[in-house]
Amino acid sequence: MSTTTEEPRPRIVVALGGNAITRQGEEGTVEQDYANLRQSLDRIVALVGRGYQVVLTHGNGPQIGNQMIRVELARGQAPDLPLDVMVADLQGGMGYMIELVLRNRLLKAGLEVPVCALLTQVEVAADDPAMKVPTKFVGPFFDQKDIERLAVERGWIVREDPGRGWRRVVPSPRPIRILEGRLIKTLIEAGTLVIVAGGGGIPVTRDEEGELRGVEAVIDKDHAAAELALAVDATYLFALTGVASVFLDYGTPRQRAARFLTVDEARRHLAAGQFPAGSMGPKIEAACRFVEAGGNRALITDTYTLLEAIDGSAGTWITA
């Protein structure tokens, strides 16, 4: 008598950029976000149809900015919300929208796959040096004359966002642990498509007694995606952005796509300034972190050429 065993399905963490939900130049209405999601998530449904186990995470840059504007406009009329609670609110709201669209798209494709959006806390170190050197611009713009008042009344640090105006800056510490990692693995192994760690996760630290508390910080979603991929033993990490491939000498006459980079090559280019911290740098760092820690490969491409990148005609693969 012969027996057959089912081949394990490759497990992928897919990190959607916030622009896959709210595009640059859009107002960011719910209707616009749903329309964008229907297009973006068709590729995720195609991955499920190809047999991949998909874990989905997403950015929240445009959305957290809008949320902070709402809080500012409601000041004095409703209680203030700390930044960690705003991130949690958006994880719930955006997770619901993504789940709703995915369920409908999967149904239309004839794929019976359960979908679950899970609030996700991501632990950061209280003594991370980044906690003392805030660099992440968030929220609405202020007049320069308001800087001193905001520092005294709210304890904020406000700096000039070059070429744009004066905004609050908050720390962006490195993620060290996905607190719901074991639960997420259980859901994946039960066949669930999970939506987790939206916006980089809800940032929390531990005090001396080991108790958790939320912190006013923003975790880079690409770094969080790498830790998530390692926590759930993913085969691949897909970081989706606004360009089809990583480019060297971007914006110059020598611009060229880098289709394959080893970790060593990627880190050399990163050190040489090829990948700025505010754009491609975090994706390169996250891809290298994933591969160096035992992941198979990482792919950087855009949402709309994802399938072509997997098939080898676009995108940038980071390998050992």
Pick left, alpha or beta for residue 152 (phi over 0 → left; psi -120 to 50 → alpha; otherwise beta): alpha
Q: Of the residues 17, 18, 59, 200, which is catalytic?
A: 18
Q: Of the residues 61, 93, 136, 281, which is catalytic?
A: 136
Cα distances (Å, whole numbers) of residue 92 to 25, 58, 133, 161, 284: 24, 12, 29, 29, 28
Our answer to whether residue 221 is catalytic in this structure is yes
SS3 string of 220-284?
CHHHHHHHHHHHCCCCEEEEEECCCCEEECCCCCCCEEECEEEHHHHHHHHHCCCCCCCCCHHHH
- Tell me the pairing of strands 136-142 and 165-170: antiparallel
DSSP for residue 39: H
Q: Of the residues 17, 19, 139, 181, which is catalytic?
A: 19
Structure tokens at 137: 């611009």
**CB contact at 8 A, 99 and 115:** yes
Q: Of the residues 59, 95, 283, 295, which is catalytic?
A: 283
Structure tokens at 221: 């979603």
Our answer to whether residue 104 is catalytic in this structure is no
| Full DSSP string of 67-107 | HHHHHHHTBTTB----HHHHHHHHHHHHHHHHHHHHHHHHH
Our answer to whether residue 136 is catalytic in this structure is yes
Sign for the pseudo-dihedral over CA of 267, 270, 272, 274: positive
Our answer to whether residue 132 is catalytic in this structure is no
**CB contact at 8 A, 71 and 47:** no
Candidates 160, 87, 174; CA nearest to 131 is 174
Rounded (to 5) percent helix, strand, coil in the chain = 40, 25, 35
Our answer to whether residue 18 is catalytic in this structure is yes
Catalytic positions: 18-19, 136, 221, 283
